[in-house]
Structure 1
Amino acid sequence: MEAASTGPSHPYKTFWKRLIESSSSGKAQKKIKIQGKDLSSPSLEVFSFEDMQILNMSPERESCLAYQMNCVPKQIGRLMNLTALYMDTNDLEEIPPDVGTLRNLRRLALSNNFLDSLPSELSRLPNLQSLHLANNNFKDFPSVICQLRNLTFLDVSDNQIETIPAAINQLGNVETFLFAFNCLKRLPEEFCLLTKLRCLWLGHNDLRELPKGFGNLTLLDWGQSYCSLNFEGNPLQHPPTDICSGGPHKIKEYFGL
C-alpha cells in the first residue's frame, strides 16, 4: 500500500496509511491508520509523529480480525494533538494511564474489546465528547466516566453492568446514552437530571421500575420510534410500559406529580 502524503516528506513506513482528512468544518486533519499484521504489534515509531490528529488502530474488515492489538504502548501519551483515537475490535484488556495526557481528545472508541475497568487518568480529558465502550467485560459502571463532564455521547451497551452511580448526574451535557443489553435493575433518581438527553436505549435490562423524576426527560422521543427511547425487553411494572409510552405527562400523572 502506498502512503498518501502532502507537503514535506516524512519517514512513514509504507504499511502505514497516512491521510489528510477533512473535518466537518472543512479543516484538514492529519490521520494515520495502522492495519493488517502491523496492528498486532504497532511500531513505536508511529508514536513519534506528534502532529497526528486522528489515529485509527481498528481492524478494517472481517478478513483483518486475525491481526488485532492486545496492548496499547504507553508511548501513545506523546500524541498530544490527537482529537480522535479508534481502538475498537481488538484484544485489549486494559488501557494505559498515559491516554490521560491526550487533553485534546474528543472521541475515544474502545468497543468490542475485553476491558473491565478504565484508568482514573481518563478524568484528565476535559474535551472528550464521545466515548464508545460497547461489548466489553464491564461489571461495574466505570466511575471515572462521571468526571467527563463534556460528554455528549456515551455507549456502554452489551456489558454486564448492574448499577449506575448517583454521580451520573454530573454528565449534564450528555445527549445520547446507550445502555442496552446490560443487567441494570434500577435507575438512580439522579439520572433524571440529564435533561439534555435526546436518545436513550435501556432495552434488554432488568428494570422493573423507573425513578419518579423520569418524566422530566422531555427531549426524548416518546413515540413509537426506537431511535430515541427504548425499554424493550425489560419487566417494567412501575409504571407499566403502556404508561411510559404516553410520555412525560403520563409518567408524572402516574407518580402523582
Structure 2
Amino acid sequence: MSVIDQLRAGQLAGVRRLDLRGCGLTEFPREVFDLADSLEVLDLSGNAMDALPDDLHRLAQLRVLFCSDNPFTEMPAALGQCPRLEMVAFKANRIRTVPAESLPPRLRWLILTNNRIESLPAELGNRPRLQKLMLAGNRLRALPPEMAACQALELVRISANEFDALPAWLLSLPRLSWLAFSGNPFDEGPEVAAMNAVPTESVPWRQLSLRHKLGEGASGVIHQADWQRADGSTQAVAVKLFKGEVTSDGWPHSEMAACIAADRHPNLIEVLGRIHDHPAGTPGLVLKLVDPSFCNLAGPPSFESCTRDVYAEDARWSFATAWRMAGGIASAVAQLHAHGTVHADLYAHNMLWNGEGDVMLGDFGAACFLPRDDEATSRTLERIEARAFGCLLEELLAHCDPVADGERARHALLAQLQSRCMSADIAARPAFAEIASLLSA
C-alpha cells in the first residue's frame, strides 16, 4: 500500500514525518490535517500542486515543508500563519511573487532556487532567525536593504541572477560565512578571464572509456574512466560530465571555470583536461582519480544544524591530524584567493580525507571570482571565507582526542586562530596567506 493510500486509510496516526513526493497530487490532501498533533516534516515535492489551503496553520507542529518541483507561481500566503514553520523549500517551481504574508515568523531556512522571482518583500528583514537563504537561478537585481537587519544570516546563494553589484550591506553581516554570487552580470568578465588564464589540455571524447559511476551531485555525474592518450598510454581518471541546468549553487559552467582557475595544488583534486567533441555537446572535465582510501570528512548540515556539518558519532582524530588537515585546507584556499577565486562552500562535507591527515578540497559548485578591480570588496570576500574556516577549525578541535602536554601550545594557538577567524569584526579576521603561513610551521 502506498503512503498516500495509508494516509487516506487513517493508518499514519502519530507520524512526525510524511513523504508524499511524486504522488501525482493536484491539490493538498485534507487527510494530512488528521496528523496535526504530531506532523513536523511534510514533503510535497514532485507533484502538480499550485496552491496550499488557507487553514494550513492547523498543522501546529509543522517545522519543515518541501514543495519543490511543483507549478506554484506564488509563494502561498498561508505559510505565514504557521506558528512553528522554520524551513521552507520551493525549488524549481514557477514562482514570480513572494508576498510578505507568506513568510513564517520563525523562518530560519528559505530555499527558492530556480524560479522566476524579480523581487523580495522588505518584510524579509523582519525575520531575525534567518540563517540560510538560497536564491540561485532567479531574476533578482537587488535584495531589500531592510535585510541588513538579518544579523544571523550565515549562508546566502544569489548566483545566476541579474545583479550588477553585490549589496554593500550584505558584505557587512557579522556571521556571513558562505556567499555564492557567480553567474551574475558583474561576475561574467572575471569568469571568462579565469577560464583562459590557466592552460588546460583539450581531451577528445573518443579517448575516454567510461567505467562505473563514482558519484552524482547537483551539477553533474562523475565516472571512473580510462583515458587512452595519443602516445598509446592509458591512465585511470575521473570524468565529470555537467548537467547544464542551474543548481542550488549556480551555473555548472561557473563551477567548471573555477575548477580550471584553481590550478594544481596537493590539497585540490587536479584538473587534467577539458573534454571536447562530446556527441551531445555536454561539457566535462577530466580529473585525477582520487585514491579510494579517501572518504568525506563529514556529512552536510541537517535541519537541526542548519549551517553546520554533521559528523559521524565516532569521528575522532589526534591533534596532530587536525593540525595537518587545517594546514592543508588553508594552503589550498590561500592559492584559490591568490588566483582570484573564493570557494564559497568551505565545508567538511566538501573535503576528502584518508584517516591520516591527508585531505583534499573539492566541489567548486559555489565558487566565485573576486572582483580584481575592487580590492576592498575582494579583501572582504576573502575574510568572509575566513569565518567558514573558523567554523571548520571549531569542528576539527571538537573531535580531537585529549591533547598531550607537548601539544598544548599549538592547541592554544589553533583555538586562538579559530576565534580570530570568527570575529564579528570582519576586517580583524586574518587573510588566508597569514593562516597558511602560521599552520605551515
> 1:43 aligns to what?
29
Q: 1:121 aligns with which of 91, 97, 101?
A: 101
> 1:56 aligns to what?
43
Q: How many residues align?
A: 214
Map Cα deviations across residues 56-94 of structure 1 (whole Å, 9 max, x no partner): 1012xxxxxxx4212222232211210101101110012
Letter in 1 for 2:81: T
Letter in 2 for 1:75: D
Structure ranking higher in helix proportion: 2
Runs of 5+ in structure 2 lacking a partner?
Answer: 188-329, 337-342, 347-365, 385-425, 428-441
- Which stretch has the larger CA shift, 172-181 or 49-58? 49-58
Report matched runs for 1:103-122 at 5 Å. Answer: 103-122=83-102
> 2:149 aligns to what?
170
For residues 85 and 75 of structure 1, the distance between their equivalents in structure 2, rounded to whole angstroms, comes to 15
3-state SS in 1 of match to 2:65: strand
For residues 246 and 104 of structure 1, the distance between their equivalents in structure 2, rounded to whole angstroms, comes to 34
Report matched runs for 1:222-241 at 5 Å. Answer: 223=334, 224=336, 225-228=343-346, 230-232=367-369, 236=371, 238-239=373-374
1:86 aligns with 2:204: no
Q: 2:177 aligns with which of 177, 195, 198?
A: 198
Map Cα deviations across residues 185-244 of structure 1 (whole Å, 9 max, x no partner): 123322233120110001111227xxxxxxxxxxxx964334247334x8x353169955
Runs of 5+ in structure 1 lacking a partner?
Answer: 5-10, 21-28, 60-66, 209-220, 253-257
For residues 242 and 149 of structure 1, the distance between their equivalents in structure 2, rounded to whole angstroms, comes to 25
* TM-score for both structures, normalised by structure 2: 0.43
| Identity, % of aligned positions | 21
* TM-score for both structures, normalised by structure 1: 0.71
3-state SS in 2 of match to 1:74: coil
Q: 1:184 aligns with which of 163, 180, 184?
A: 163
Map Cα deviations across residues 139-181 of structure 1 (whole Å, 9 max, x no partner): 1233332221101110001001111232221110011001110
> 1:13 aligns to what?
8
For residues 53 and 243 of structure 1, the distance between their equivalents in structure 2, rounded to whole angstroms, comes to 41
Letter in 2 for 1:231: C
Report matched runs for 1:61-80 at 5 Å. Answer: 67-80=47-60
Q: Is the 8 A contact 1:165 1:188 kept in 2?
A: no
For residues 30 and 79 of structure 1, the distance between their equivalents in structure 2, rounded to whole angstroms, comes to 11
Q: Is the 8 A contact 1:19 1:32 kept in 2?
A: no
For residues 126 and 72 of structure 1, the distance between their equivalents in structure 2, rounded to whole angstroms, comes to 18
Whose Rg is larger? 2
- Which stretch has the larger CA shift, 46-55 or 222-231? 222-231
